[in-house]
Chain A
Amino acid sequence: MFYREAGDFKTSYTDDSQTFPIKFDRYRYYVVLAVAFGIIPFIINDYWANALLLPFLIYAIAAIGLNILVGYCGQVSLGTGGFMAVGAYACYKLMTAFPDVSMFIHVLLAGGITAVVGVLFGLPSLRIKGFYLAVATLAAQFFLVWLFNRVPWFYNYSASGQINAPERDVFGIIITGPNAPAWATYLFCLIFLALCAVLARNLTRGTTGRTWMAIRDMDIAAEIIGVNPLKAKLTAFAVSSFFVGIAGALFFAVYLGAVEVGEVFGIQKSFLVLFMVIIGGLGSIFGSFAGAAFLVLLPVVLKVVGVDVLGWPTDIVAHLQLVIVGALIVMFLILEPHGLAQLWRVAKEKLRLWPFPH
């Protein structure tokens, strides 16, 4: 009834090819943006920011990045944790070397450095595919973590090998460190997420995205019709690593504040982001958001229900949490292999016909 194309006339090609061609969709998108930018910053507190929203926003950026590589270009990667670590350590080195430069620039540069590293580790993808490429990126994961643990220059020779985010600001507003207000850290991450999502959406709709998808669907056919696999694969690695690097930098500088590479950016992180992408939906920007929300919020909700509402012992709730999240993942993969994004698509199809399905 509300959700339909009928009566929504387009008079130019630009209108016709916009991201949200259906009016209702478009307004919903504006409302989400308005709430995220205009309302939440005023009601947010430390708990909401640090326990729920920051991890959600940052994981969403990482998931978008990985989705470009795995979902759009079909190159399986298990190196996300390692690339996030590159972003975090690049950001740390920049923050300590140039304390007066704005955090915006540091985070963007950290993303750029990660893109270069990503391209380097993406080179083998020109020769190997599928599982073998997954193993090659797994090597990147272990090598990068080992490197940051091993070479003291990366952690400025601190005794414990940890990196700690010093206090830095943007236009005089503190963004990192313990005194940063919740709304500022939230907005900072939200701006990056919004920019990344718009960029990713438009990249994947244009020529670049089409070449990625051609390579994903069948690389030999793509090569025959004139897609340059070198360019397509390496741009996918570069763009993906850029996003993942931004996520790593924010994860360290804004969210955690102190990082120990083996624990925070280990292989579990790679799997976690990969699960987000798979559960959310391969090849879908919305899926990256949905997957990140699912895996960040669900454990917290289960904990709140189990411990605070029902008053169960914390260890039982922690074990139940593993069981429930695991069972839900298996269930999703069986019932809807294309992820939460597909559920959303189906729901939209149904809504278009409602209340008169044929």
Chain B
Amino acid sequence: MKTKLATMALSALMAAGPAVADLVIPDLSYRTGPYAAGGIPFSDGYNDYFTLLNERDGGIGGVPVRMVECETGYNTEKGVECYEATKGEGALVYQPLSTGITYQLIPKVTADGIPLHTMGYGRTSAKNGDVFSHTFNYPANYWDGASGAVNYLLEENGGDLSGKKIALVYHNSAYGKEPIRTLEELSKKHGFELAALPVDHPGQEQKSQWLQIRRDKPDYVLMWGWGVMNQVAVQEAANIRFPMENFIGIWWSGSENDVLPAGEAANGYKALTFHNVGTDFPVFDDLQKHVVDAGKAAGAGDQVGTVLYNRGLYAAVLAAEAIKKAQEISGNAEITPADMRDGMEALEMSEAKMAELGLPNFGPTFSVSCENHGGDALVGVTQWDAANKTWTLISDFKATDGDVIGSLIDEDSAAYAAENKIESRCN
């Protein structure tokens, strides 16, 4: 068995051809399992943008990008296997799109010196780059999401939420539990009442939670859901006739997959976001021309322009920009993971740069530094229009409550640093 495996691995290596220097980007995707509806569009967008760079520009800085896809099924054990299988190929950056896998990889990537980018998920306190040297979570994290939702509600209510009731429906996992601490702090600060309702994996069974919502009649419902849980929640909310405009999901609960099954009833549902929606950007013309029409699109090629496709695309854009920055800093076109980390830490996304990439006003502007691996935490709100089947940005990217979040991040990362004996490295 073992020799067989070894020969297979060897022949696989030889089949991959002569060792052409290229930029290796592993894609830990999940196209199977209960979370595939979210995993497929993200992975398609992530792949397609790098294909576009290869086809249109011949790679980044003249070096082609090689994608190595590995199926995790949103399962931590398979995630570990994928990480070990791909890290030896010179992987530049990991984006596992799973909070569970992220927790596993944070210590591993730090030991192996490979950067990890968890865009809008993962461990929130990784924003503190002083402690988490190889983990990045720009441009926004869960606690920004929680605060962004509360800020939006404050705006709706003329700056006063006292006496209001807010319910949080969350996936009962590390991912879903992340915002609770922030929301508790914010409820103290703004005087609203918080009720947390856990939903167990995979989230198809939510009758009792929504019964409780119908009984308690909260003014607003926030949701931290993923996969099939989102659709069920939107449907259940429609069943109890909860007003959709008072129902706000995190960015992982705000894609087409989540609202289409409920049909007309989902009209007005809101979701947070840290990037723009739709295909009204010049880069999509290039994508159509060089990737989709050329038959090189990843997957079935039918996801272009969906919310999660755009997020995968945005993740690829940020990775590509970090590679450019790394090439600029190191002076080499063929960079190492260590160069990549430095590039990510020096990343700056300005409005001019986004426009130059064909993505004007697509995402918030931010910059990364040694202390701040989380960007500037700007969060917007989108709303679903069931008649036209489109999401629209109804509130532009706005700042979140840095005081509350900052102190929570300091507390959590200090605990991690003490537990793992990490010394301060930014001066």
Provide the residues of chain B in CB contact with A159, threshold 8 Å: 124-125, 177-178, 180-181, 412
Question: Is A256 in contact with B31, judged by CB distance below 8 angstroms?
Answer: no
Question: Is B107 in contact with A177, judged by CB distance below 8 angstroms?
Answer: yes
Distance of A262 Cα from B99 Cα, bound (Å): 14
Question: Is A314 in contact with B70, judged by CB distance below 8 angstroms?
Answer: yes
Pick from A179, A303, A304, A315: contact of B32, CB under 8 Å: A315
Cβ proximity bits A303-330 to B, threshold 8 Å, 1 near / 0 not: 1110111010111011100100000000
Distance of A266 Cα from B200 Cα, bound (Å): 11
Interface residues of B in 17-63 (CB under 8 A from A): 29, 31-32, 36, 40
Distance of A304 Cα from B32 Cα, bound (Å): 17
Q: Is B69 located at the chain interface by the 8 A CB criterion?
A: yes
Pick from B1, B15, B111, B420: contact of A166, CB under 8 Å: B420
Q: Is B11 located at the chain interface by the 8 A CB criterion?
A: yes
Distance in angstroms from B32 CB to nearest chain A CB is 4
Cβ proximity bits A254-289 to B, threshold 8 Å, 1 near / 0 not: 011110101110100000000000000000000000
Question: Is B84 in contact with A262, judged by CB distance below 8 angstroms?
Answer: no
Provide the residues of chain A in CB contact with B103, threshold 8 Å: 160, 162, 164, 258, 260
Cβ proximity bits B335-348 to A, threshold 8 Å, 1 near / 0 not: 00000000000000
Provide the residues of chain A in CB contact with B181, threshold 8 Å: 159
Question: Is B11 in contact with A160, judged by CB distance below 8 angstroms?
Answer: no
* B: contact size bracket: 35 or more
Question: Is B107 in contact with A257, judged by CB distance below 8 angstroms?
Answer: yes
Question: Is B200 in contact with A262, judged by CB distance below 8 angstroms?
Answer: yes
Question: Is B9 in contact with A318, judged by CB distance below 8 angstroms?
Answer: no
Question: Is B172 in contact with A149, judged by CB distance below 8 angstroms?
Answer: yes
Are A160 and B174 also in contact (CB < 8 A) when A256-B104, A260-B103, A263-B100 are? yes
Query: At the interface, is chain A mostly helix, strand, loop or mixed?
Result: helix
Pick from B5, B9, B201: contact of A263, CB under 8 Å: B201
Distance of A167 Cα from B418 Cα, bound (Å): 12
Distance in angstroms from B85 CB to nearest chain A CB is 6
Distance of A315 Cα from B39 Cα, bound (Å): 11
Which of the segments A10-18, A44-52, A216-224, A236-244 contacts the partner chain?
A44-52
Q: Is B88 located at the chain interface by the 8 A CB criterion?
A: yes
Provide the residues of chain B in CB contact with A51, threshold 8 Å: 80-81, 84-85
Question: Is A318 in contact with B71, judged by CB distance below 8 angstroms?
Answer: yes
Chain B contact residues, CB within 8 Å of chain A: 1, 4-5, 8-9, 11-12, 15, 29, 31-32, 36, 40, 69-71, 73, 75-77, 80-81, 84-85, 87-88, 99-100, 103-104, 107-108, 110-112, 123-125, 172-175, 177-178, 180-181, 198, 200-201, 299, 412, 419-421
Known A46-B88, A47-B85, A257-B107; further 13 A-B contacts with Cβ < 8 A:
A159-B125, A164-B107, A177-B107, A258-B103, A258-B107, A260-B103, A263-B76, A297-B1, A301-B5, A304-B9, A307-B69, A307-B71, A314-B70
